[in-house]
Amino acid sequence: MTSPGPMPRALPRRLLPALAAGLFAAPHARAAGEAPGAATGALGRILRSGIVRIGVWLEAPPWGSYDHDGTPDGAEVALARLLARDLGVRLRLQRLEVRDRIPALQEDRVDILAALVPVVPATRRHVAFASPHGELSVAVATRRASPVRSLADLAGLRVALPDNTFAAEEARTMLPPDTTQLLLPGLVACIDATAHGRADAAVSYGWLLRDLSLSRPELDIEPRFTVSHAHHALAMRLGEPDLLRFVNTFLYLRGADGTLAEIHERYLRGTPDVGPVFR
Amino acid sequence: MADPCRRALLALLAATPPAILGRTARAQPFPAPIRIPALQRLRAGIDLEGTATAWDDSTNGPAGMAVEVGALIADGLDVPLELVRTTTATAVAELRAGRFDLLLNAPPLTIEVAREVLYADPYAALELVVVAPRPLPLPSIAALRGRRVAAQAGYPLLLLPSRVPASQMDVIALPDLPALAAALADRQVEAAIVTSPIASRIAALYPALEVKLTLGTLWLAPACRFGDHDLLQAVNTMLYIARQEGTLQSLHQGAYDRPLPRPPFF
């Protein structure tokens, strides 16, 4: 008859509750009362609470601004409203300053950014992007007789920048150091200043300059070169794959039924050129 | 905690099969996410009633594009395909409950269903159309108001409220092509709402009938449970490869006699 081996050393008593909890609980922690197969993370919370918090940037017309009644308006705001409707929840729009967009997402003050966030490597490290739904190019325009052809040619000249816009944010860091930067209230003011000789060049958006050349051919203004070009997309916190997939499905369906093109046409005129994406 | 309790817990732990502690326990209320390296077989739900993507072939069993796509995905994952029969009414709930891991012919892509499951990328696109006798004037969706209309049971019927003023129509659900064609031929109904493959077959059988209106595209895709992103990624990769190689286009052309449209990128 063999004697039993040494008894295994008893587990510390304090570990037993945790052991029991780990044994009986499902391997993936779920909120109480949650149905099997329900959405997880931010999407689950949005669907359960009935509220989605979407951060917008309202100093970026025509993507984000106010209408005549002071109500938030613009292409990104319209997209946020559509997304909330498709989620079947109430929309809580959160107005954000340009530099507060990514921190607001990371600090869980918003669930999604519809705030003209460009898909660039620097941002990609901090957020999860949905499929791009638009593009924007920042361009420089001058009078037709101007010899300006590149950024370097702007050295020593007066450049009109539309205050509080993505275009100004983007261009300011690229202008030659001895450029005189004239911050003016809005895109139209910049074009006007350049056309009438109060500035040597205007920073603007590619779509606006294309539109001007068609609608106001008599205006002495001409696009010269593109400063930057980027796609923009809805952004979410990293590690929220259920929400990301829902948003991509939303973009797919609304792209297919023409709703996204309608929004683009209403605020930006024309059809965007966004390439295929493997989601 | 008393010692007997501690002993009981340790004994329970020792007696518990490893499968219960691992991923494979199917009786759990919350199915754990699929781990691709540990996957032994692909349990795929298939709805063989009232869809244009799968049906029961009397000699060969389940057939159709969804079955072909399931085989293609399982082959890519190098595991056997286990088809689990489901129904239109229960498919989404059964996927969520873990009865199977992938729903091959999920309801057509709608934003409402996207709140319930993770859609993979679409593998097929059909039209939802209105078929009626040639002389009947049906210039627009509004012209359907007040009419007696048959709808193909299954997803076409479920999608009606989002595509037509169904509440202002007299809608009758009919199960299959013979019933729809008979109802139209006997003038029990003025028009029928069906998917494009069924419409083609009706028009071929009854030249007096024609497609009057298109109510939009139905994008068809497999679906996974929320949280199953490894499986979703694997399915999307297989579909991507099949599209790149032209296999998906060939299957679509063969099944529906029309090319697979490009996905609607904005």
Q: Where does B98-207 have alpha helices with state H?
A: 111-114, 155-163, 177-185, 196-205
* Beta-ladder partners of B119: B223
Structural domain that includes position B209: 126-218
C-alpha to C-alpha distance for A245 and A129, rounded to whole angstroms: 11
**Are B114 and A250 an interchain contact pair (Cβ–Cβ within 8 Å)?**
yes
Q: Assess whether pLDDT exceeds 80 at residue A116.
A: yes
Other CB atoms closer than 10 Å to residue A227's CB: what's the count?
A: 19
Q: Assess whether pLDDT exceeds 80 at residue A112.
A: yes
**Are A37 and B226 an interchain contact pair (Cβ–Cβ within 8 Å)?**
yes
- Confidence band, pLDDT 50/70/90 cuts, at residue B25: very low
- Identify the pLDDT of residue A24: 41
Kindly state whether residues B238 and B204 are assigned to the same domain: no
- Identify the pLDDT of residue A85: 97
Which H helix or E strand runs over B131?
A: strand B124-133
Q: Please check whether residue A274 is in contact with residue A231, taking contact to mean a CB–CB distance below 8 angstroms.
A: yes
Domain for residue B263, yes or no?
Answer: no
Kindly state whether residues B61 and B80 are assigned to the same domain: yes
Q: Where does B104-195 have alpha helices with state H?
A: 111-114, 155-163, 177-185
Six-digit token pair at A104?
Answer: 């607001």
Domain count, chain B: 2
Amino acid A56 reads V
Name the residue ranges covered by the structural domains of chain A. 41-135+231-268, 136-229
Q: Which residues of B touch A276 (CB under 8 A)?
A: 262-263, 265
Six-digit token pair at A224?
Answer: 């010269």
- Nearest CA-CA partner of A279 in A256, A247, A257: A247
| Percent of chain B residues past pLDDT 90, beyond the cut | 42
- Identify the pLDDT of residue A29: 47
Q: Which residues of B touch A232 (CB under 8 A)?
A: none
Read off the pLDDT of residues A184-224 as tens digits, 9 standing for 90 and up: 988 889 999 999 999 999 999 887 888 788 888 899 999 99
* Beta-ladder partners of A91: A52
Q: Which residues of A touch B217 (CB under 8 A)?
A: 256
- Identify the pLDDT of residue B14: 45
Kindly state whether residues B131 and B214 are assigned to the same domain: yes
CATH number at residue B184: 3.40.190.10
Determine the CATH number of domain A41-135+231-268: 3.40.190.10
Kindly state whether residues B159 and B49 are assigned to the same domain: no
Read off the pLDDT of residues B204-236 as tens digits, 9 standing for 90 and up: 888 888 999 998 888 999 999 999 999 999 999
- Confidence band, pLDDT 50/70/90 cuts, at residue A169: confident
C-alpha to C-alpha distance for B11 and B18, rounded to whole angstroms: 14
Domain for residue B20, yes or no?
Answer: no
| Least confident interval from A233-242, B10-19, B187-196, B238-247 | B10-19
C-alpha to C-alpha distance for B167 and B170, rounded to whole angstroms: 8
Which H helix or E strand runs over B216?
A: strand B209-220
Q: Assess whether pLDDT exceeds 80 at residue B4.
A: no
- Confidence band, pLDDT 50/70/90 cuts, at residue B84: very high
| Percent of chain A residues past pLDDT 90, beyond the cut | 57
- Identify the pLDDT of residue B247: 95
Q: Please check whether residue B235 is in contact with residue B164, taking contact to mean a CB–CB distance below 8 angstroms.
A: no
Across the range A269-274, mean pLDDT stands at 63
Task: State chain B's mean pLDDT as an integer.
Answer: 84
Six-digit token pair at B185?
Answer: 């031929």
Domain for residue B18, yes or no?
Answer: no
ipTM: 0.79
Superfamily, domain A136-229: Periplasmic binding protein-like II (3.40.190.10)
Six-digit token pair at B135?
Answer: 């002389």
Kindly state whether residues B166 and B244 are assigned to the same domain: no
Q: Which residues of B touch A250 (CB under 8 A)?
A: 111, 114
CA-based nearest distance A26→chain B, Å:
6
**Are B265 and A43 an interchain contact pair (Cβ–Cβ within 8 Å)?**
no
DSSP secondary structure letters along chain A: -PPP-PPPPPPPGGGHHHHHHHHHS-SS---TTPPTT---HHHHHHHHHTEEEEEE-SSBTTTBEE-TTS-EESHHHHHHHHHHHHHTSEEEEEE--GGGHHHHHHTTS-SEEEEEEE--HHHHTTSEE-S--EEEEEEEEE-TT----SGGGGTTSEEEEETTSHHHHHHHTTS-TT-EEEEESSHHHHHHHHHTTSSSEEEEEHHHHHHHHHH-TTSS-EEEEEEEEEEEEEEE-TT-HHHHHHHHHHHHHHHHTTHHHHHHHHHH-S---------
Domain for residue B11, yes or no?
Answer: no
